[in-house]
Homo-oligomer: A and B are copies of this chain.
Amino acid sequence: MLKVGIIGASGYTGVELARLICRHPGAELTVATSRQYAGKKLSAIYPSLLGMTDIFCQNITGSELAGQADLFFTAVPHQTAMAIVPDLLEAGKKVIDLSADFRIHDAKVYEQWYQAHSAPEYLAEAVYGLPELYRQNILAARLVANPGCYPTSVILALAPLLKAGVIKSDNLIIDSKSGAAGAGRSASVASLYCEVNEGFRAYKVGEHRHTPEIEQELGLLAGRMLTVSFTPHLLPMSRGILSTIYADLCVDIDREGIQKLYQEHYQGEHFVRLCPVDQLPATQFVRGSNFCDIGFKIDPRTGRIVVVSAIDNLVKGAAGQAVQNMNLVSGFAETDGLLNAPLFP
């Protein structure tokens, strides 16, 4: 069994990792850290895990921590991650980092959107952990930068179109909507039930930190640097992201042609599900699963294509994709521990 550690186990991403690992056929959770809940059972913080794992949260770092597992998930905020990851790598451990710290290849861009980077020397080797794009590199990686939730939904939706060159890349409009789990478990007035319930709003319009990550990856697919309009919104629900993306078609292609592009691009990909022609995804149909569902509609009146993608932000948008990456770097079948059907209703 692969020994696995979760650093930052008491957040929503951390506990989602625990949920998946406790049922993984080849991995076992051997260490879970939490500053706030050190000394408590993870199942006391999250009674959902009662009977699933007996692990206690610890507040340990450095070599004491590194010694307890072969592979680590760092489910901590950006800036915290970059202070932990180098030590783990130097101790010979593999790391799946769920923060943003190693996703942006260019340290200058990172520092523009986040803050100073304390470990830029690791940026070159970090592999952007979107298996559907970078599987071969991930297989050989010791540091995987697990993608952001919004970027996952956007990049998978646009990859086939940008690669095929059928859409213009200079005026992409990305309107994304996320469930509240994405905001994490810290106590803040803005995340209270009564503030989120029965309400809907946009936030950080044009300023969200996932923007450079989206632009980096879409740019690589398009073969040119690009700038996007990206607007995140907060949905009154717990799990799920839906991205609605507007692009101008630049070649003459019909829906069968587009559908074929998607089918060919994602042939053999277990976790990307293409909706039947003229159907569109909905977040409720991917809940709890590692699927990314994609659909599209061509609007002949405007010459635009509207692509819609749906993921569970805690699974394909975070913990599930991280386990997928763990599977790749550890020699497991890529789908191990990730085969459950979505939970509907």
Contacts and interface: CB of A to CB of B under 8 A. Distances in A.
A341 B48 CA distance: 7
Interface in A140-194: 171, 173, 175, 177, 180-181, 185-189, 191-194
A282 interface: yes
A314 B238 CA distance: 20
Contacts of A244: 175, 202, 231, 233
A56 to B, nearest CB: 14
A52 interface: yes
This chain: how many copies in the complex?
4
Contact of A297 (B46, B206, B304, B341): B206
A344 B200 contact: no
Contact of A302 (B227, B237, B239, B282): B227
Contacts of A205: 280, 297, 299, 306, 308
A197 B238 contact: yes
A8 interface: no
Interface string A206-230: 1000000000000000000001110
Contacts of A46: 285, 344
Given A175-B175, A194-B180, A201-B280, A50 B345 contact: no
Nearest to A12: B345
B291 A288 contact: no
B246 A173 contact: yes
A23 interface: yes
Contact of A345 (B194, B200, B275): B194
Contacts of A194: 12, 180-181, 185, 191, 238, 345
Interface residues of A, number: 87
A92 interface: no
Contacts of A5: none
A23 B299 CA distance: 39
Given A50-B273, A50-B293, A193 B177 contact: no
A4 to B, nearest CB: 15
Interface in A47-62: 47-52
A253 interface: no
Interface of A: 12, 15, 19, 22-23, 44, 46-52, 171, 173, 175, 177, 180-181, 185-189, 191-203, 205-206, 227-229, 231, 233, 235-240, 242, 244, 246, 270, 273, 275-276, 279-289, 291, 293, 297-299, 301-302, 304, 306, 308, 310, 314, 339-345
Given A47-B281, A47-B285, 17 more contacts: A19-B342, A23-B339, A49-B342, A171-B171, A175-B244, A180-B193, A187-B189, A187-B192, A193-B195, A194-B238, A198-B345, A200-B240, A201-B282, A228-B302, A229-B246, A229-B299, A236-B236
